[in-house]
Structure 1
C-alpha cells in the first residue's frame, strides 16, 4: 500500500509540473529552461504501476521514488514530436517532446510546389494533418474532398507539392486522422483516434525544415530528419531530382551551422542513404536506413528474405539500421519477449539499431496491434510497454527508441540506461 501511495504522490507532483509548463507561452521556453526542467508527467508512473510484478517493475518503482531530477536522453527520440496528444510536426509538439526529455527530435521532410522543405510525415497528408480543406487552398488540392455516399468512403488528397511554402505557413496543424463516413468537410476532419486527444489541436504551428532546425538548436537537442519518399514523379517539375532533394536537406544543416555529429539523416530508400554516405561527408556517417522491407516479404526469422543482408549493408557503409519494433523481437516457448534473429544478426554485423515506435498502439490489452505483432501472446496490459523496452535496451542494445510520448522512453533511460545514453 505504501508503494502505491508513493507512486500516486509522485505522479500527482509530476502532473502539476506538466500542467504548469503547458500553461507557459511557447515563445518563453528558453533552451536553459527546457534542459533544466524535464517534466515527465504521470504516464511513465501509470505504466510502471500496471506492470506485472518482477525485478524490472521493482527497479522502475525504486527509480520512481528517487528524488533525483530527470535528464535529457539521446535514447529518447521524439517521433514527430509528441503526437499522442499534440499535432505532429508542429512547434507545440516539438516543445512538449523536449520538455519530456527527448534528446533527439524528428522532422519528416517533404517539399513544396516551389521546392522548399517542410516538416510533414507524408508529402500528401495535408488533408489529414492540417485544416487545409477548411481554407481557400482546398481548391489547389490534388484531389478535392469527396463525401461518403453510402458506398464509397469520404476522401481527399492534399500535398505539400500542391502549394507554396508561403501558403503552407498559413495552415494550422491538427491531430492526424480523417472520418471515412463523413458527409461534410467538418465531419471529415474529425477523425482523431480515441486514445489520442484534440485538446491541443486548435492552433498547431507548422514549420519549414529550416524553422525546425532553428527551433531544435534553441531547445539544445539533436536532429533526425527523414527524407520522405516522394508521392509525385521525380524529377519534380522536370528539374528537381531525388539527389537534389537529398542534398538540399543536408545543405540546410550546413547553412545553419549544425555539426554532423548532431544530425541523423534517415530514409526508407537505400539509395538516399548511399548518396549521403558517398557525397555528404561526415553527415553520411550517421545516416539511418529505415528498414521497411517487411512490405516486400522480409521475415525477421528468415535470413534468406533479407536482401541485402546485414553484412552487405555494413559493407555499403551503413552504420545504423532502424526497423519497426516488432521486427526486433519474438517470443520463446514460455511466451517471454526475446530478441529476433534479425536483431541478433544486425548486432553481429556491427550495426547500431534504432527502433520505432512506442505509444502508437493505444491500450495494449488486445495485444498491441501492428507494432507488437510479433509478440502478441506476451502483451496484455499497458505495463508491457516497459517489458518490451527493456528487451530492446538491455538484450538487443538499441541506441535509441522513437516514441509518440517521449516521457515513456526518457523515464526508462534515466532509470536504467543513464550511464550509457543520458546527456550530461
Structure 2
C-alpha cells in the first residue's frame, strides 16, 4: 500500500495524536488551531447503538476525561451542513471546531471567471437567497411557480453573476419547495432533519477566501473542481484545462503546501491533468468515483472501466467512492468490504469515503448512501458500526461527514478499540 506525504501513517497518527493536547492545538508549522468541541451528537449516536463490543469500547472511550483531538481522518463535507448552510464561513468554522482536519470547498466559477465555493455551478436558487434579491433578474431561468401540475422551478448560476455580486448573497440550507407559488415559499424547502436556525446570515466565500480561512484555522484543504454547467470553452476561450489549472494556481499563490491540499474531481481527465502538470499537488489528487451512474457494480469487476490497476498506472493514488460502494452484507447481515474495496486496496489505492450523516435518520435503512447494506441498518447508532467497518476492514484513510464531530470522536477513540477488533491497517 503506497502512502504519500501527509497520508503516510495517517491511521496510526489518528491514535498517536490522541496522546497530546499539542497535536490538537497546533499543526507541525506551529499555526494556532481552535480547540476541539464535539457537542452532544456523537454521544447520542453512541447511546442508540446496538449492544456489543464496539459500543462498549466506545463507551469506555467516552468515559475517559481528556481533550478531544483534531484528525485528518475527519473531513468536513462542505463544512458542517447538517446544521450550517453548506460552503459558508460559518459552516467551515463549525467543521474545524468539531475536529475536522480537512475541510472541503467545492469550486466553480463566476461570470468574471473567479472561483467560488458552491456545490454546483447552478444551485444558487436553492442554496442562497438570490431569488429574494435584485440579482434574481440575472438568473438563467426566472422563478416559475407551481401551477398544479409542473413543480416550481428556477435556475441561478454562479456564471450568471460576478464575484462582487456573488459576495452580496447569503447562504441558506440547500433545498426548495416544489409546490411553491411564491419565492418565499420556494426558499422554504429544508429537509425536516436539518435546520434553518442558521440560514439567515450564511457568509459566502470565494475560493481564495476559503484558502485563507483554512490556513487561519490550521486545517488542510480538499477542493472539488465542479463540472461546468455551461458550455466549455466558456465564452470561447476558457477551457477545462484553464479551469483545472486555476484551481491549483490559487493554492500555489497562497503558499499552501502541496501536502496540505487534496484536489478532487469526478472527471478523471482533471485528475490526470493535475498529475501531469502539477505533480506535487497531483500526487494527492482524489478521483471521485461516481461511475455507478454509468453502470458500475461494486461487486462486478467487469463493470469497472478503467479498472483499479489501470487507475494506479495513470498515477492516481486516491480514489473516493460513495459509502455504499465500499461495503456489502454477508449471509449473517454483517457489514463487510465490497469486492470494489478489496480491489482498490490490492491495487495500492488509498480510499476516502463520502458522505456520512447525509441521509437523515437511519431507522428506515438510510437511503441512497446506505443502499448496499440496508438489511444491516435500523437505527442512527449504526453510523458507528459502518464507520468502524470502513476504518478497520476496508482501511479508508478518511471519511467525509456532514457533521465532522462524529468521525472526530471515533478517531480519538482508536486506542480504546485495540484488542476488540483487528488494528487499523
Both proteins in one fold, TM over 0.5 = yes
2:251 matched to which residue of 1? 253
2:220 maps to 1:222: yes
SS of equivalent to 2:399: strand
In structure 1, how many angstroms separate the alpha carbons of the residues matched to 2:294 and 2:306? 12
SS of equivalent to 1:76: strand
1:32 Cα shift? Answer: 3.2
Alignment gaps of 5+ in structure 2: 1-30, 419-425
Task: Note the aligned Cα RMSD (angstroms).
Answer: 1.3
SS of equivalent to 1:295: helix
Q: 1:56 to 1:419 in 2, by over 3 A?
A: closer
1:417 Cα shift? Answer: 6.9
1:305 matched to which residue of 2? 303
Alignment gaps of 5+ in structure 1: 1-30
In structure 2, how many angstroms separate the alpha carbons of the residues matched to 1:324 and 1:82? 18
Q: How does 1:330-341 map to 2 (within 5 A)?
A: 330-341=328-339
2:32 matched to which residue of 1? 32
In structure 2, how many angstroms separate the alpha carbons of the residues matched to 1:419 and 1:377? 25
TM-score, normalization by structure 1: 0.91
Question: How many aligned positions are there?
Answer: 389
Q: 1:80 to 1:217 in 2, by over 3 A?
A: same
Q: 1:382 to 1:99 in 2, by over 3 A?
A: same
Q: How does 1:116-195 map to 2 (within 5 A)?
A: 116-195=114-193
Q: 1:35-54: CA deviations, max 9, x gaps?
A: xx210000000101100111
In structure 1, how many angstroms separate the alpha carbons of the residues matched to 2:230 and 2:288? 20
SS of equivalent to 2:143: strand
Q: 1:125-172: CA deviations, max 9, x gaps?
A: 000000000000000000000000000000000000000000000000
SS of equivalent to 1:321: strand
The range that moved more, 387-396 or 409-418, is 409-418
Q: 1:336-377: CA deviations, max 9, x gaps?
A: 000000000000000000000001011100000000000000
1:68 Cα shift? Answer: 1.2
In structure 1, how many angstroms separate the alpha carbons of the residues matched to 2:256 and 2:249? 10
In structure 2, how many angstroms separate the alpha carbons of the residues matched to 1:107 and 1:59? 34
In structure 1, how many angstroms separate the alpha carbons of the residues matched to 2:370 and 2:377? 8
2:389 maps to 1:385: no
Q: 1:417 to 1:197 in 2, by over 3 A?
A: farther
2:240 maps to 1:238: no
Q: 1:381-419: CA deviations, max 9, x gaps?
A: 000000000000000110000000000000000101799
1:48 matched to which residue of 2? 46
2:268 maps to 1:267: no
In structure 2, how many angstroms separate the alpha carbons of the residues matched to 1:33 and 1:167? 32
Q: 84, 87, 90: which one pairs with 1:89?
A: 87
Higher helix residue share: 1
1:281 Cα shift? Answer: 2.2
In structure 2, how many angstroms separate the alpha carbons of the residues matched to 1:362 and 1:77? 18
Q: 1:418 to 1:220 in 2, by over 3 A?
A: farther
TM-score, normalization by structure 2: 0.90
Q: 374, 377, 394: which one pairs with 1:376?
A: 374
In structure 1, how many angstroms separate the alpha carbons of the residues matched to 2:415 and 2:75? 14
In structure 2, how many angstroms separate the alpha carbons of the residues matched to 1:126 and 1:417? 44
**For the Cα contact (< 8 Å) 2:58–2:416, is it kept in 1?**
no
Deviating above 3 A after TM superposition, structure 1's stretches of 4 or more consecutive aligned residues are 417-420
